[in-house]
Amino acid sequence: LPEDIDKGDVTPRQEFKARARYLNEKYEYDVNEARKIWCFGPEGTGPNLLMDCTKGVQYLNEIKDSCVAGFQWATKEGVLAEENVRGVRFDIHDVTLHADAIHRGGGQIIPTARRVLYASMLTAKPRLYEPVYLLTGTPMFVVKAYLPVNESFGFTADLRSNTGGQAFPQCVFDHWQVMNQDPFDPTSKIRQIVNDIRKRKGLKEGIPPLEDYYDKL
């Protein structure tokens, strides 16, 4: 589905019934739920979905815009390292709201929605994606290969030095690839990558614990 969204086969501007039918036929989405996609994110077009799976919740429409804003925030700056989120569907199953409208404003709902989405991601075994280049080499032979972007720095210089300057690579983005190691394992390479990203951004060291976002009524 993220690839279909990237290609424009599934978009927020589609007629919602046609989109729901497509999602049902290709991805076995429940038709009724697929008709209640609140938004795509981040930026309103990204490969993540916020879906309304509730039934009979009072005042829900009053907080829809605030929930969408919290969703855009959470998918723009994910919980692991404040990087863009990809390929996540968030289902809203139930909402308990204060009867007094003054307590249902954006100031209360937006950060709360973000905390809820962060907590749900932390409990869903999140993984990192890495961008991957497609490389083509010329001129006498064409060699195609996939190279993780993170490992591409210095590749051109190494290739030319080992071929006497005869090979010229061309790198173009091709796809995203899931890095299957557990970022919560302190001995994994992925954990080190997360720590490096957080350090580069000036964020608090280590992945935030679930207790930071998991609240009980």
pTM reported for the whole predicted model: 0.80
Q: Is residue 57 part of a domain?
A: yes
Q: Is residue 153 part of a domain?
A: yes
Asked if 30 and 105 sit in the same domain, the reply is yes
Token pair listed for 100: 């007094």
Q: Is residue 72 part of a domain?
A: yes
Q: How does 11-49 read in b/e, with b if 16+ C-beta sit within 10 Å?
A: ebeeeeeebbebbbeeeebeeebbbbbbbbbbeeebbbb
Asked if 7 and 89 sit in the same domain, the reply is yes
pLDDT digits (tens, 9 = 90+) for 19-50: 999 999 999 999 999 999 999 999 999 999 99
The C-alpha atoms of residue 116 and residue 107 are separated, in whole angstroms, by 15
* Residue from 38, 20, 18 nearest 28 by CA: 20
Asked if 12 and 113 sit in the same domain, the reply is yes
Q: Is residue 207 part of a domain?
A: no
pLDDT digits (tens, 9 = 90+) for 9-21: 999 999 999 999 9
What is the chain's mean pLDDT, rounded? 90
Residue numbers of the domain that contains 112? 2-122
CATH of the domain at 27: 3.30.230.10
Q: Is residue 215 part of a domain?
A: no
Split at pLDDT 50, 70, 90, the class of 137 is low
Count of structural domains, the chain: 2
Q: Is residue 184 part of a domain?
A: no
Asked if 114 and 22 sit in the same domain, the reply is yes
Asked if 35 and 81 sit in the same domain, the reply is yes
Asked if 118 and 144 sit in the same domain, the reply is no
Q: Cis (ω within 30 of 0) for the bond into 47?
A: no
**What's the one-letter identity of residue 147?**
L
